[in-house]
Amino acid sequence: MGIPSDLEIASAASLRPLHEIADRLGIPQDFVEPYGRSVAKIDLNVLTADGQPREQRAKYVVVTAVTPTPLGEGKTTTAVGLADGLARIGQTVAVTLRQPSMGPTFGIKGGAAGGGYSQVVPMDKLNLHLTGDFHAVTAAHNLLAAMLDNHLHHGNALNIDPRNITWRRVLDVNDRALRNIVVGLGARIDGVTRQTGFDITAASEVMVLLTLATSLDDLKARLRRIVVGYAYDGRPVTADDLGAAGAMAVILKDALNPNLLQTIEGTPALIHCGPFGNIATGSSSVVADIVATRRADIVLTEAGFGSDMGAERFFNVKCRVAGLRPDAAVLVVTVRALKAHSGRFKITPGKALPPELLAENPGDVRAGIANLRKHIQIIEGFGIWPVVAINAFDTDFDSEHQVIRDLCTEMGVKCAVSTHVVNGGAGAEELARTLVDALRTPSRFRFTYASDAHLTAKIEAVAKQVYGADGVDFAPPAAKALAEYERLGFGGLPVVIAKTHLSISHDPALLGAPKGWRLPVREVRAAAGAGYVYAICGDMRTMPGLSSHPNAEKIDLVDGEIVGLS
């Protein structure tokens, strides 16, 4: 018999009083702002509460994964379960995670509060509105869009080229019909007619700059630098030029403060921001991590998708901005992911797993093990100690786990099986002890590239040193944009490579650890407010669509209680 649903487990959980959760991190109550009975915001003045800025105290650990299947391999669940496991063995611990977007919650993936007995609660609030931070990002982003179109309507004093506007609108709903739209239809008083579109709120540059801001002043500076498009003479036009940055900062003032929740077992969880993992950093906020690392012994934070994407950006972008030094990485692997990388199975969201994939077959795991080997090498390339966490399913077999253990032994890497989904923190105690043991050896952390390297060199460094590509092919528009960004003074920014999460390469069909390939960069854009330049490889959908039977069909209110949320 299976365990209850995630919502049933979360609903049955006994939540500790919020002041008790804050006390576990030594956060005075004066800096805890309740949002109802089970959620609070942390006032960032806590960082200087004693008159002196606190330095990093905690061991800082990123939870990442092998290249995932479309179902995901349980990074969030592992981070939550491991946090509870560490608390069980006497560590003062906090977990920092992204807030889920409501798009996937009502779409096909479902929520992102963890799973089983390793969840952040209250699960329903976390997966829905929480403290309204996503809505604040949506409002601030769309205010800038409105002021841009208003500027065009009232004479276009900045001489903006309507065909070279890059700022779209956003909405926290999966809606493919809004990907490409025309605004300004109707009479002259209804504005200038032009083509534009919508992205999902998680893909907003406002979301990622909120994630990377280190203070309110830094947030305002980043907002001013947002580039919305270009004038006819090629000059970038910013939010500051439009006079919008101040009002946007007002909307985002409270959203900058991280949200305090708890796991089912009462471990502090800071949930803040939710940038899109394919095109942005894909990790929780810098300020949440700064608060946590100054008050806990160990801080676990999760980075989106595999180590080639989430962990690479965590190291090269987030740690560079935050000034935090990482100490270790937990690399989540599942038997099903390695079997999928054998190329013998196809996993489709919304459909049952192939019966052959669930049968005992260590040979299939061995056939896909190259993917795990490559991700271990990626982590080690940053001078960080990887700890492999086998996220165990009840369909796994010991012989299949042994294939993973054997590789870890061969590579001199620590490994542990974790059953946190079924057993909560108790199921992660072996993993917790393994991590604590690994943390006794200091890391030798290093970036992939220097800040003063040229943008092309930075992209090539990530492609070759992290992904294992033979080189990079820049399409003419991409090469031209890179040269222009260097001229405009963006050359010192870090880079993000927007690509598929289903392969270490740019091509989702290339499984395992691809070799003999080159990375094609078709377009390059500047996220000047967020503070990075991103190279686009392939077709990135920044506004998802709904499936034929989305999760929204199952979600309802029955006698005042939410049902169907997963």
Which tens digit of pLDDT belongs to each residue from 172-181? 999 999 999 9
pLDDT confidence tier of residue 494, bands split at 50, 70 and 90: very high
pLDDT(238) > 90: yes
Judged by average pLDDT, the poorest of 449-463, 470-484, 525-539 is 525-539
Which tens digit of pLDDT belongs to each residue from 192-219? 999 999 999 999 999 999 999 999 999 9
399-421 average pLDDT score: 98
Give the whole-angstrom CA distance, residue 524 versus residue 527.
Answer: 10
Which among 192, 167, 195 has a CA at the least distance from the CA of 181?
A: 195
| HSE (side-chain half, CA atoms, 13 Å) at 162 | 17
CA-based torsion, 285, 286, 289, 294: positive or negative: negative
Give the whole-angstrom CA distance, residue 183 versus residue 165.
Answer: 13
CA-based torsion, 544, 545, 549, 552: positive or negative: positive
Does residue 419 contact residue 405 with C-beta atoms inside 8 Å? no
| pLDDT number for residue 303 | 94
Judged by average pLDDT, the poorest of 17-21, 115-119, 415-419, 535-539 is 535-539
| pLDDT number for residue 249 | 98
350's CB contacts (< 8 A; 6+ apart) are 108, 547, 549
Give the whole-angstrom CA distance, residue 150 versus residue 242.
Answer: 10
pLDDT confidence tier of residue 185, bands split at 50, 70 and 90: very high
| pLDDT number for residue 7 | 86
pLDDT(144) > 60: yes
pLDDT(1) > 70: no
Does residue 315 contact residue 496 with C-beta atoms inside 8 Å? no
pLDDT confidence tier of residue 54, bands split at 50, 70 and 90: low
Indicate the DSSP class of residue 100: P
pLDDT(230) > 90: yes
Judged by average pLDDT, the poorest of 98-112, 224-238, 257-271, 526-540 is 98-112
Element (H, E) at 320: helix 319-322
Q: Which neighbouring-strand residues pair with 450?
A: none
| pLDDT number for residue 49 | 77
